[in-house]
Structure formats: structure tokens, C-alpha cells
Amino acid sequence: MALEEYKRKRRFEETPEPPPKVQKKTEHRFVVQKHDATRLHYDFRLELDGVLKSWAVPKGPSLDPEDKRLAMEVEDHPVSYHDFEGIIPEGNYGAGSVMLWDVGTWQPLSPVPENGKYVPGTDEEARHMLAKGDLKFRLEGKKLKGDFALIKMRGRRPGSKGNEWLLIKKHDDHAEQGYDIDQFDQSVLTKRNMAEIAGDERSAEWRSSRPAARGKLKAAWLADAVARMDKKKAAASVPKKASPQKDTSAQKKKQKS
Ligand code: MN
């Protein structure tokens, strides 16, 4: 509001003062983590309002506009997740190897194109587009660049959990026909491939703080997966139970045995 007032009062063509930079504010971090859990998938995360809006994309994002990639919305993740790469130990939520596959910035695009072109929008527009199930945005990452859309699927197919979106590349200079994500199995952080991360003794270990929050899981399919994981964990930890949470070296030894 105040900005509108400011713009109205100033005539930029007549004054050397720079126009207000709204655009800058709409740039946020995004991250894509390749996650070799029960099933390999890519976690696509956009930072907004202090959290990471997250989707699990089984086939991963594509730069080919012909590809419509299923993206299952999962619960918001804490921003502290955004630079994690390493191993989530067995028994924890999301156990498996995690690669920092891509990082960069994203900005919402205004849903109304100007002269046929999408232009940067505001956070407010992003919230509306998310609520409507049609989010248009621009990525500036190391691997992913250009304009994309996340579109919520409306048709409820049998077995649908209602959390299905499609991640689609828009036609622009960054579009790439026949994009093959398997050609890009390399971390933007450490250059390691998935196998190297999984086998690397020095891989960071993520200590999940999840158990307390599990009751709040929104997605049913995710709750199911976590419940199965918990059962496995319970079965595995019957013989040797009490181990101090903080002692990761002891934990690590147990994993090996
Ligand atoms: Mn994941």
C-alpha cells in the first residue's frame, strides 16, 4: 500500500531516484534434494513464509515442457533442511541418502502476463496461486532455470490422496527437449553421485527431530509410510533399546553391525 503511494507521488522519468525494488523481495531460496529412501524421488522445495513448501517428485523435475511430472505435496519442512546432504540413518523418518541436487532462488510470476510474457509477481500472488492450485514461478538454479508451473490435479482418480500436482516446464529459452535427469547424478554441493554419498563414511548424519511432530502429518500416504517405518524401527530395536540420542558415533556403529 505504502509503496503504491510512493510510486504515485514520484514520477520516475523526472527524477533520478531509483524506482522501488519490489522484485528483490520476491526472491526466495529453492532446493531440490535427490532422496534415495524407500523409493527414489526428488524433494522439490520452495521457501515461502519461513517454511519450505515441499513436493515429492518420483521422476524428478524436467526441463522438457512435454514432461508433466507428478509431484506429491507433502507437509512443509523447516528451512534448516535446505542445505542438507548426507545419510538419514535407518529407523528415522526418510531414512536413506540425500543429495543436494540443485539450489538457487525462485520467484513467483504474476498470474497475469504482460504483453504475453510472464513477469515477476509478489508473495501475495504466490499465496493465492498456491491456494488455487496453479503456481507459476521462475527458477534460477544451477541445474533448473526458467519458468515452471505447479498445477494441482483436480480429477480424483481411484486411490487418489488429493495431494497430486504436476510440475511442468514452460516454453522458454531454458526448455530442453528430451531432458534426461539421470544424466545429472551429481551434487551441486560436493559433486558426489548418489552411490558416493551412500558409501561415504564422512557423510553427515541427519538426526531427525520428527517423532514429536508425527501426529501432525497431513498426507495420509506419508503417515502410512512413517507408520511402517516406525514398526520396522520398533522391531529392530527390541534387543538393544536404550541409547542416548546424542551419541551419533554409537548409533553409527549399531548401523554397521
Ligand atoms: Mn524425501
Domain range list for the chain: 20-229
User: For position 252, what pLDDT does the model report?
Assistant: 41
Cell 497431513 found at? 218
In the reported structure, the alpha carbon of residue 56 is separated from the centroid of ligand 1 by a whole-number distance in angstroms of 6
How many angstroms is it from 42 CA to the middle of ligand 1?
6
141 CA to middle of ligand 1, Å? Answer: 19
pLDDT at 245 over 70: no
The whole-number pLDDT of residue 8 equals 55
Give the distance (Å) from ligand 1 centre to CA of residue 244.
26
CA angle 74, 130, 30 (to 5 degrees): 65
Ligand 1 centroid from CA 117, angstroms: 34
| Helix and strand counts by DSSP (H, E) for the chain | 6, 10
CB 146 within 8 A of CB 170: yes
Most confident of 25-34, 175-184, 247-256: 175-184
- Averaged over 60-78, what is the pLDDT? 96
Residue 23 has a pLDDT of: 45
More confident position, 159 or 195: 195
Rounded distance from Cα 14 to ligand 1 centre (Å):
52
Rg (alpha carbons) of the chain, rounded to whole number: 21
Residue with grid cell 509477481, as numbered in its chain: 121
What separation in Å is there between the alpha carbon of 58 and the centre of ligand 1?
Answer: 9
According to the model, what pLDDT value does residue 81 have?
Answer: 82
Q: Three-state DSSP class for 247?
A: coil
Model confidence band, residue 93 (pLDDT cutoffs 50, 70, 90): confident
Lowest mean pLDDT among 107-121, 122-136, 191-205: 191-205
- Beta carbons within 8 Å of 124's beta carbon, 6+ residues apart: none
193: amino acid identity, one letter: N
> Distance from the CA of 105 to the center of ligand 1, in angstroms?
20
CA of 102 from ligand 1 middle (Å) equals 14
pLDDT-derived band at 213, boundaries 50, 70, 90: very low
State in Å: Cα 203 to ligand 1 middle. Answer: 17
Tell me the three cell numbers of residue 59: 521422476
Q: CB–CB of 176/63 below 8 Å?
A: yes
Distance 147 CA to ligand 1 centre (A): 23
The percent of residues in the chain predicted with pLDDT above 70, rounded, is 69
Cell (9 digits) for 214: 508425527
205: buried, middle or exposed (CB in 10 Å: 19+, 13-18, 0-12)? middle
How many Cα neighbours within 13 Å face the side chain of 66? 5
Task: Quote the ligand 1 centre to 107 CA distance (angstroms).
Answer: 23
pTM reported for the whole predicted model:
0.70
Give dist(CA 177, CA 117) in Å, integer.
Answer: 21
pLDDT of residue 203: 72
How far is the CA of 180 from the CAs of 60, 173, 177, 184, in angstroms? 10, 17, 9, 8
Number of residues written out for the chain: 257
Mean pLDDT of the chain: 79
- Given a cut of 60, whether residue 20 has pLDDT beyond it is no
The pLDDT value recorded for residue 2 is 52
